[in-house]
Chain A
């Protein structure tokens, strides 16, 4: 026999699940790239933890900010358990980049190939960045969050977020330039 509980937060999470899930999964993928951790498992853990601790959710804060915070802590715990030493495994090679040799003109192929190389390079450079810096790039530049939201997620002051983000962006740009990535806006 089933009975209805009907908590508004549960309904809210249920309604936002399909939108939130891929975003969180992508951020976790970017955050844990090169560690060998499975982003799918971590995303599942994140959401199940969120469901279990829904009673701790402060209705005043944005739901996605709260879940990002749980995702971040889940990743940090998992990486701590693995005692990851910032050693980057081979970047994921896109299967379709191999097959692109079969189609299109040589100009198209080169352009496509270069794009994929650039993407791999960004992944590689980001994987080498310290977690504290990489997460700020993900939250600000990937997810386009506001500084106050990032401050909540990372438990940092807004000023610290901004100063650290400056260093993170410099680090990323230096890394990409060193790796031969010269395409600038």
Chain B
């Protein structure tokens, strides 16, 4: 057994707290090659130092001011703008395509509206002409004489 294996074995024996005389005899036999380890075993076999670690380093009460920044960072909510900014690069290509599509749509729509406007002007013009004709007919009726177109 090398040093490390012996140290591992001693740790396991000390942790378990119960080992047979035979186990210890075997260990001591192995430790004969390493007097410093044998000395360390003698020191430790009486048991670990009785320390109340809770007394040495007691748990301090947690202050809200310490937890608040962490809670804030951990908060499952986030600002919409921040969220959108995070999402934008991910969906940049889709957004660009959407913009192209929308631009195309509006171009086509504006062409249609022009023809619509022309149609309306035409209607207005026609309506005006018709009105003019009606007015002329009215004026003719009001005249004290009539035109004889057959002459």
The interface of chain A, by Cβ under 8 A from chain B, is: 1-7, 10-11, 13-14, 17-18, 21-23, 25-26, 29-30, 40, 43-44, 47-48, 51-52, 115, 118-119, 122-123, 141-142, 159-160, 162-167, 169-170, 172-174, 176, 181, 183-185
Question: Can you list 11 pairs linking A and B with CB atoms under 8 Å apart?
Answer: A10-B76, A25-B59, A48-B70, A119-B56, A162-B11, A163-B8, A166-B44, A170-B43, A181-B49, A183-B50, A185-B46
Task: Give chain A's interface secondary structure class.
Answer: helix
Are A30 and B57 closer than 8 Å at their CB atoms?
A: yes
Docked-complex contact B50 and A184, CB < 8 angstroms: yes
Say whether A123 contacts B49, CB under 8 Å: no
The reply to whether B44 and A170 contact each other, CB–CB distance below 8 Å, is: yes
Q: Nearest CB to that of A22 among chain B residues?
A: B59
B76 contacts A23, CB within 8 Å?
Answer: no
User: Known contacts A21-B66, A181-B49: does B57 contact A29 (CB below 8 Å)?
Assistant: yes
Q: Which one of B20-28, B77-85, B121-129, B138-146 is at the A interface? A: B77-85
Q: CA separation between A118 and B49, bound complex, in Å?
A: 11
Query: Is B76 a contact of A5 with CB atoms below 8 Å?
Result: yes
Q: Within 8 Å CB of B5, what residues of A? A: 159
The answer on a CB contact under 8 Å between B40 and A166 is: yes
In the complex, what residues of A have CB within 8 A of residue B35's CB?
Answer: none
The chain A residue sitting closest to B70, CB to CB, is A47
What chain B residues lie within 8 Å of A141 (beta carbons)? 48, 51, 53
Q: Please report the C-alpha to C-alpha distance between residue A169 and residue B73 in the assembled complex, in whole angstroms.
A: 39
Q: Are A3 and B83 in contact (CB under 8 A)?
A: yes
How far in angstroms is the closest Cβ of chain B from A96? 12
